Structure 1
Amino acid sequence: KWLGGRAKLSQTQTDFANEVKNLGLERGLENSKARHKTIKQFYAEIEKPTPKLKEKKYEIQPINYDLLPKMGLFQTTNSFNAQLKSAYEIIHSNYENQVLELKVEHQKQLKATVTSYETKLVESRLNAEKLINENQRLKSDNKLIRQDFEKKIELLESENERDKAKLIHNNSMRLKEFESFSEFKKVDPHAFQRLEIDVINAVDQRKNAREAERKAEAERHYKEQERLENERRAALQKKVDQHREWVAERAIERKEGAFAHDLKVVSANSENQSEKAAIADILAFRKSEKPVLQNQHFEYRLQQIRTGDLSRLDEFKHAINWAAEGGVVETIYRIGMDKNVDWDNDGRAGREVFYLFENISNVVEQQLEKTKYSEVEKIKKLADFGDFVREKTDLLYSDYLQTRLKPLYEREQQSKEHLEAMRKIDPNYMKGNSYSEPEQQKPKGNDFSM
């Protein structure tokens, strides 16, 4: 441990190897799991007796005597001898072929075995040379490291001696000073007492100055930390306020945004009184408070948004897009709201669909109000979905204006113009029956009263 431990020794070997690299010495593999093997142990393994080859028995197919010919009843001796000779030649040829095949196979096995042992022998020689070189290198490294350690130990010992001598010298000087003070105290006790008081005061003043400086530094540090914390809190509060303003502006933009502005421009430039009246009607309706209307097709999806589950917003978008692509009346029938609509309300029938769509926007805005400014991903998803719902709602408002309100006000304008034209001909035409003129009360009495 006094040498610095395993890590320090390993680093020392690395540093030393870097210093003697120009001499052709290389550092051993760091953190190697290998264990040192002596030359004696290595050669003992090499000189082990070579294992003998396993004895292999070769089998030759026996003679099949059924292949030998048999002499026929009317066969001559010469012809049988010739046939028998031919059969023996075939058997001899088969034996020679079997022996040749066994010889070739034996030579192949022998060659493979010899090649394998030669390869192992070459590898063993190479390993032996590597081990010899490694052993020599380790011996050299060990010698150099030992010398380096001895030098370092000598240096530490010399430094220790110097420190010891210095300490002895300082102690002797202090002792001399103490002896001088003791002598001074004996010579002039009153002067020594005044000097002692001055020394104590000086030390106390120094201590007080250091303490005051430390407190001042601590106070500066505390104020700096307080300032940074206040700035951080102010920055966070600014982001929170900006987020709240942004959410509030979205709610205002939904009711009085670009769509309402465009309608106001159209109304200002139009000379058609029925169109002006229809636009004024729909603008007032957009700004008005609307009752909450629930729908079985949308309610469970809205409940998911209320609970913070935004994983199925794309499905909700597809459902809204499908429902609103055909206009107000088609939307009412597609989402099953026809029973909620007051169809007797002339041209204003169908406004109930906006209660539903405005409620969806309100739910989205409520969820945006609950979010923190740091929830970037959630805010983006809700804002994108809210913009989509507002776009579809504005399209339905536009369709409602063109297909329901404008025709309504045009019919009323035409009826009014027709009534005025007829009254120019007959001042008493439709008096008391007009929607714009209530029936006048007849005076009491009979028709002959004066």
Structure 2
Amino acid sequence: MHTSIPDGEGLHRIVIVGGGAGGLELATLLGQSLGKRKRAHITLIDKNRTHIWKPMLHEIASGSMDYTMHEIDYLAQAHWHHFRYRIGAMTGVDRTNKRVFVEAHVDEDGQTVTQQRSFPYDTLVVAIGSRTHDFNIPGVAEHAIQLDTAEQAERFHRKLVNAFIRAHAQTQERKPGQLQVAIIGAGATGVELSAELHKSVRTLVAYGLERIDADRDVTLNLIEAAPRILPALPERIANEAMRILQGLDVNIRTNARVSAVKADGVQLDSGEFISAELVVWAAGIRSFVCLQNMDNLAINNINQLLVKPTLQTTIDDNVFAFGDCAAAPWLGKEEGTLIPPRAQAAHQQAQHLAKQLRHHIEGRSLQDFHYQDFGSLISLGENWAAGGLMGSIASGTLFVEGYIARFMYNMLYKKHQLGLHGFWKVALDTVSGFIRRRTTPRIKLH
């Protein structure tokens, strides 16, 4: 039985489902404008209590970043920026009565925190992001770790540290695959994790695990079904990343399709078996199954909501969707081209909707969203990155690498923080982070 929540009676009720990079930024912007001035009641619903910027998950997994120092508490952010946060996972909507249904939230001890509830809305915005796609390959759920959340990334890191401590302490000969890592999917996440792990495992060994030789005992396997790594990015970026990863002794397998993941490694279609103690699945994306329960809103084959150029769903103008969960047309490109699932796209869409939702409340016409591709940057370690910046040098692409590219990569995160906190808080956090990194281990050791 659902409990009805009457929040925001008397005001236009905007409910945002999903507190990822786009959803949290939109809630913050609307709270600062409409919420603060009592022109609308803003509610953010998310099944988690805290937010972490998803492009950082590979750093959490490798241990080079302690995510507890970077996570944002939804309750605090809501309090500071004039919106409301409610915990729970969306299960569906009733578009006739304009209600969002949220399942009961149960804690780690099995105790019910909140009952099943429903929230009324006048305008609904869906920004629940995406998850990795296992393509129904046997063994992925049981034996591989997917990097969709900070908890999953942290779980991988714990398993990594435990594997190294176990190998250092044991007296018998090591088993086949021990201290071997298989990363399936050579998109941005897989490539960045490979580069980050090369350094972090050597740093880990330096903290007293002298019986392990990282160069001799550890193998990083990067497995990709496509003919090259980073198949969604320009070939020049992929070639540069390939050169750097090969220099880091990452074992790269392209044109390698995985047929099964097992407890002790990865089975390829070719019949080859790659032994591995740790397996990460980072291949493909799809949106969440709950989007099939959106009261007949149109979705595509990977559960993305179909939206118009205004980011309104194709069937209901009072329901918007953006980010990875939306199949949004890329205006100016060939018909049928969709906006790619990138953090910069979600950021631009949040900025756009923050303005357009004010027009929607007032009954004014909405402007179409035009995505500006500023290029792609791939992190290849703490001080190195590579990528292409669009619109430079006579409207072409400016390729950058090294320390400059890494600085630009870091600035993407700072831009996200600025959208959530403003200049002074970001400046103070940056200074405190600089000091903290000189008084703590170089990687997280637990």
Normalized against structure 1, the TM-score is what? Answer: 0.17
Which structure shows the bigger proportion of residues in strand conformation?
2
| Structure with more contact order per residue of length (Cα contacts < 8 Å, sep ≥ 6) | 2
Larger radius of gyration: 1
Q: State TM-score, norm by structure 2.
A: 0.17
